[in-house]
Structure 1
Amino acid sequence: MATPRHEFYETDENLTLSIFDKGAEPEQVKVSFEPRKFFYSHGDKSLVLEPLKGQIDVEKSSFTVGKVKIEVRFSKMAQGRWGALTGDAPDPLAAFPTSSAPTTTTVRKQRKNWDGITTEILGQDKLLTGDQDPNAGGDAAVNDFFQKLYADADEDTRRAMMKSYSESGGTTLSTNWDEVGKGRVEVKPPEGSEWKKWAA
């Protein structure tokens, strides 16, 4: 059996082998890939490369039959230059018998579903209604609380609430008519605040 002329060039990821066998019939060409072995035969020509200088990915390696040459593409399992087709150089993957080529894994950070989290938390805690806790749900709950208080109050209590609220500029709300009815209710701004009357 004759050995056909061949040559190669390589990158860190791949090695391309050209086998010069002019007029080769694609149906009669036989090629086999193994991790450290390559075999080619056609008619009375054959080429066996063993052991390959590095390990190849059999699934990703391929070949095409042209009019002048057969082009074989080896996909390297580990990046780097071989410098030769065959040789007993230590297999860079020998230390990783259970692993395929070392790969860089990009971990995608999962985005939090804040709407779902909020819904879950709100579902766990029963919201207090206005009459249970006037601070429970902000202004709406406070308004509900005072509306209910006003609706259930007697006439004197209602008058005390209206008079104290309006005369104090909204800073005081009293239900005690005996106290409120004695005179004008003073403005009592929160501590650290200053009351200013805006000109109309």
Structure 2
Amino acid sequence: MSDTAPAENNPSSKEAPKYRHEWYQTASDVCVNVMTKGLKKEQVQVEFTERTLRVAIELVRESPYALDLHLAHSIDCGKCSFKVLSTKVEIKLRKVKFQQWCSLEETDATTKTKMIPSMPSKYPTSSHHSRDWGKLVAEVEKEEKEDEIKKAEMAESTTPNTASSPQVMEEDGLTDTERV
């Protein structure tokens, strides 16, 4: 049997912890979350440059953690921020160009970007299809106009035609044909 225990069971070995990080994006920001627990703001340092992100976490009983990313696109360092929360470090990176990033880090695919069209925001929904409310309003207005036209036509057809129907005189209640 060996006298040396594996590094994962040996508390004296100072191996850098491996924290998971994930990212998502909006039209104007890229958000990077480093999943940690119980850190204080004093333990976390975040540095931004135009194309890099560096996160350093000082730990008491472990080696420091560092995340160094060479970003796929440029960011506006003056509008970037971070928060240390109970379960993660949340980092917001403001995009210089409001375009869809295909990846967080620079790769060969970073030249393939998609421009985000300037369209009104859609609210989240559980529906699998979307509705064009402007089109729906136009259809309702069209139906209302058609109903008004039908009602007007119905009203015209129920009013007596003066040329073909006998007229009643108000004085004696007799029609023209009865007078003769």
TM-score range normalised by the length of the shorter chain: 0.3 to 0.5
Q: Which structure's residues are more often strand, by fraction?
A: 2
Report 1 or 2 for greater relative contact order, CA contacts < 8 Å, sequence distance ≥ 6: 2
Query: What's the TM-score, normalizing by structure 2?
Result: 0.47
Structure number, greater radius of gyration:
1
